[in-house]
Every structure is written in C-alpha cells, then in structure tokens.
A and B are shown apart, each in its own frame.
Chain A
Amino acid sequence: MAMKGYFGEFGGRFVPETLLPALEELEEAYERLKNSREFRAKLDYYLRNYAGRPTPLYFAERLTRELGGAKIYLKREDLLHTGAHKINNAIGQALLAMEMGKRRIIAETGAGQHGVATATVCALFGLDCVIYMGEEDIRRQKLNVFRMRLLGAEVVPVKSGSRTLKDAINEALRDWITNVDTTHYLLGSVVGPHPYPTIVRDFQSVIGEETRRQILEIEGRLPDYLIACVGGGSNSIGFFHPFFNDKEVKFIGVEGGGDERGHSASLGKGRVGVLHGSKTYLLQDGEGQILTTHSIAAGLDYPGVGPEHSFYKEIGRAEYVAVSDRQALEAFEILSRLEGIIPALESAHAIAYCLELAPKCPKDSVIIVNLSGRGDKDLSEIMEAMER
C-alpha cells in the first residue's frame, strides 16, 4: 500500500471525510505551483522585499570566546518582519490560498507569533482573517492580540478544553470543516494532516538553504552541529531539512523541559499516537487522552510534534533533548548581555543547549543555532518570571 503523506510510519491524514477534498485540492495546487517559475518569483519577491530575506548568518564572537569551545554562529530569523520565522510560511501559504481562489484565511496561534504573521500577510494581500487563540493565551499575550486586531484580523477566543494552542487548532479545524469552500486554513507549523507538514517544511526550508550557502562561503565547510528549538517543529525542520543528506552535520532539536508544573517534550517523553490529523509522538495518558503541557515558551507549549521529527528521531538522524524553563531564562539573559540580542524564549531553549555543548567541542568545530525569533513579545512574561 502506498504510504502517501508519510515520513516512515509517521504522518498521514487522520481527518473527518469533510476535509479530505480540501486537502486533496491543497496538495494538487501546491504540487502544481511549487515548481512554477512565476510562483517562485512571486514568493521570492515578498520574502526579499517585504519579509527581509536573506537573514544574516552572524558569528557570535563574544559568546564563542566566553564558552571557549566551538565557533558559534546564529541564523538571524529574529530580524525578519514580524520578528520570527513564521512569516516565511505565512507568505507562502497566503499566495497559495489566492491561487486557489480562497480569500478567507483562518489560523491558530499560541503565543501569537503565527497569528501576527498571518494577520500581517492578510493585511498585505487584502484577505479576510480570523485567528483562533486560547483564552488562556489571550490573557498572557495581550500585546500580540492588540497587534492582530490592529492588522485587521478578528481574534476569536477559544474557551474549550485547556484553552491553549491545541484547542485553538481544534477550533480552527471546526471552522474549516464548516467553511471549507471559501476558506484556507493557514496552519503555522509542520503538524496536521498531509500535505501540511510537507508544505510548511518547504516554505521554511529557505532557512536551511541560506544557512548552507552562507556557512560554506564564510567557513568553507559544513557545520558540525545545527541546534534549533522544537515545539511543533517548523523552524527546526526548515533549518535541518536542507542538510539531511550531509551526514556529518548533526541535528539537535531542543524541546521545552518546563518545570515542576510540567513540560512539553513530546519526542523525549511521549508515545506514538494520532492527533490533529497525523500519527506522531504525543504527550498523552494511558487511555490516549491528550495531556496539558507546560513551557515558559508559549511557542513550545504543544503536546504533539511534526511527524517528520518523529521520523528523524526514529532513524536517529536527529537527537532531541530538553532544557528547563530556568535554563532557557539564563540563556536569554546571557545572549542579551554578551551579544546584544534579546532572543524569543523559544529560541533561548536552543541557545541554552548550545551553552552546554559548545565548551565540550574542539575550537575548530562549528555550531549554528537557529535564532528563530526575537524576544520583545516575551518581556512582560519574563519580568514576571524573574520576580518569582
């Protein structure tokens, strides 16, 4: 049996029948457009002139000296318009939606970064925009809610379940089931039913493709390690995937280790199950009910993970580790002081693992950390955490 839409045994299309035709349509449109010169040119135009690509690959000299081991580079996705890598995928999918003649866009958001990116591209292209966001997240991320509304999006509070990201995805899927003829669901991570994990990965692969060119130009060689944080896993897959065949490059995905309240390490501590349309590692109880997660970084606070990551774990292509809320906060401060870069709390998880790894590496080795977003959105949360 052909395993369409699978990465090894992971992925698939576990959705209600109502959505299958829309997924087929999306897949067909994407296959047709992805190699079209006109579509690529349009995407490239907006990535360059609107989002601010290519982003720099920056040598973190003081951090490198301080740690005394590997040379550390930062891929500066934090410098993109709207402050994170999410815009790469939002532009790509909005163009795709318009090609399919769909002018109503819905999306889920946790911390609000994907919601802001989606609201931004909808403003840019004049599309209707509805963002589903958990009530709990709305409370925590007031500024991003204001931003989305300012951009003309309707933000719908989700009151069901745990009132966080997973419930926002449920609600967005319910909207999609109801309005599937007119609406494109602009999913923000490499999760969900096929073809989403592939489409989002492809739109995010620009991160790894640029990085590969840049490091070859600067160092004349490939890196020893790529480190990125993993929630749903879109920045990390986009970063890793173009290096997949470079076996000497090691991938490290960093999950949210949380604190005594819980964690969000789906790959590290989860079991294989089915959620939101795909088979993948999940945090769940013995009965298959999905667990509530915790991470100080709202963007990592999700009980599932993209199926391609589950595949990378299974075949040993990537290693997945977890760092705690506290380690992430320390890394957040260190990067701010040593490099003058305030990272997003999500990205601070990747930095935290780099702080552990770099001193153990020889001086001629190279680590690249994907700095997936900037930290402005987190400042009030961090002020609170530092007071505790």
Chain B
Amino acid sequence: MNRIDNLFKDRKFAHIFYLTVGEFPIEEELEIIKAVIESGGDCLELGIPFSDPLADGATIQEAMQEALRRGTSLKDVLKLVERIRESSDIPLLLMGYYNPFYQYGIERICRDAKERGVDGFIIPDLPPEEAKELMENAKRYDLRTVFLLAPTSNEERYRIVGSATTGFIYYVSVKGTTGEREELPRDIEEKVPRIKEITGKPVVVGFGISKREHIDWLRRFADGAVTGSALLRILKEHRDDKERMLTEVRKFVSDLCKDDKIES
C-alpha cells in the first residue's frame, strides 16, 4: 500500500507542506514536523538540499545553503524519514533536484526510500521524457512519481505528464521560481479543472501559496495545495527561539488548514 493513495479520499483537500531537510538539527526538525502534522498538515515534502537549485527562489536557496553547510546528505534525509515513521503515518515525498538521486543510484534510492517509509518523489528538473529509469524503479518498489505541469504547458503536455505521473499532478501556479506571492494568477481557475478533465488525476497547486485566502480559493477547484517558502520564512524568523518558532508554526499551519471539513 502507498500512503498517497489515501490523500485525496472522500474528495478531501490535501494540505501539503514543504521543508528543506537539514536546515536545523534533526531533533528540532522532528519537533517542527510534529507541529505541522498536529496542526493539520496532510502530507510532507522533504526537500533534499542541492548546491544549484535553479527552480527555487531566495528563501529555499538560503535554506539549502544552510543545510549543505551543516553537511546534510540524502542519507540524513532517509534517517529523518525513519524517525518520522516512529510516530506518524503521514504520506512523505522526497523532493529534490536529480543529481543527488542520480549519484546515489536510482535503483538504490528507490529501494532504500521504500524501506524507510517514503511514498514517492517529486523531481522538478526531471520531466517524464528523462525519467524512464526512475519510473521503472519507483513502480517496482511501489513508490509514486509526481510530475509537474506549468502555466506554459499546453494540452499535449497535459497528456504526456498525466500518463506518466502517479499519485497526483503538481501544478506550478506561476511562471517563476518558488517563493511567497501576494496574489496568484487568475488563470489557475481554468487550467486546473482542464488538467483534471484531460488527465483524470488529482491536481495539487504549488509555488507562491502562503495565505489563507489562497487556500480558500484553490479549494474550490484543486485537490490540494503545497506551502513551502512561507513556512521556511517563519522558521528562519524565529530560529533563535525554538518555543516561539513552534508556536508560530502551529498558528500558521492550523490557520491554513482549519475549517476544512465544514467547507468541503
């Protein structure tokens, strides 16, 4: 069984949160993750730090540099997964650039990831055309491969990505890199339903999502939303005061996730 399969059960809206692994010591990271889960997070994307994160804006770039400065590797990420699994069954996705996975070995990462309790991968610089090896091995180990669509994608891309993706489609809301935004492009409202219609897959929206209003709007037509940079900013702002940091994380996450059942 794969935990992602339950994520969209009963047409529930999935609140997904992204964290760059290794920005904080592992014990602190576990507390942050616990706070996210207890405040309503449905799924976690664990970001693998990379030296050249070309799809990321300043917030995630800085988090990755800090994680690398602390010597974080893919092995450390797997260790974290193991620890999370001691107390939680939340769906977990590894999100990162291709080279660290490629160097680790694609078959080996699929095997090790499955063993530790990972449910799938999101690799933003690996379009389906380049992902044959990953897709074969992920299938073999019952892991999901989430591919992305963007505002520049046409309907032919919807079909290609739709048939390659397993679990869900990650729709990139804006032309641009990751990072908080005041407003989201209005055309998401037409694009997401069209993608769902063509692909028949759940569609989760990410990039720029940082506010309650965003979630309220997206919930009307999307299957979930990913929040990353906004959460990382809170961690950074309060990094010297852990208790305050955890309080703010709880406040932020529960504000984004509250009233879910009433509205849906």
* Chain A residues in the interface with B (C-beta under 8 A): 1, 4, 12-22, 160-161, 166-167, 170, 173-174, 177-181, 271, 273-277, 282, 284, 286-290
Contact = CB atoms under 8 A, between A and B. Distances in A.
A56 to B, nearest CB: 40
A273 B103 CA distance: 7
B104 A178 contact: no
A16 B130 contact: no
A166 B52 contact: yes
A180 B152 contact: yes
A287 B74 contact: yes
B73 A15 contact: no
B176 interface: yes
A194 to B, nearest CB: 10
B103 A284 contact: yes
B51 A161 contact: yes
B207 to A, nearest CB: 10
B65 to A, nearest CB: 7
Contacts of B100: 287-289
A243 to B, nearest CB: 31
Given A12-B130, A22-B152, A274-B102, A17 B161 contact: yes
A14 B152 contact: no
B55 A286 contact: no
Contact of B125 (A16, A21, A178, A289): A16
Given A14-B130, A287-B73, A289-B68, A277 B52 contact: no
Nearest to A2: B129
Main secondary structure of the interface of A (DSSP, over half): mixed
Interface of B: 50-55, 57-58, 61, 65, 68, 73-74, 97-104, 124-127, 129-130, 132, 147-154, 157, 161, 172, 175-177
Nearest to A12: B130
Contacts of A287: 73-74, 100, 103-104
A288 B161 contact: no
A13 B129 CA distance: 8
Contacts of B157: 17, 20-21
B135 to A, nearest CB: 12
Nearest to B147: A17
Contacts of A275: 52, 99
A288 B102 contact: yes
A138 B154 CA distance: 39
B199 to A, nearest CB: 14
Contacts of B151: 18
A273 B177 contact: no
Those 10 A-B pairs whose CB atoms lie nearest each other, nearest first? A288-B103, A288-B100, A18-B150, A178-B176, A288-B99, A289-B51, A17-B150, A290-B51, A17-B148, A287-B73
* Most A-side CB within 10 Å, residue of B50, B61, B98, B129: B129
Contacts of B154: 21
Contact of B127 (A1, A13, A271): A13
Given A1-B132, A15-B127, A161-B51, A286 B103 contact: yes
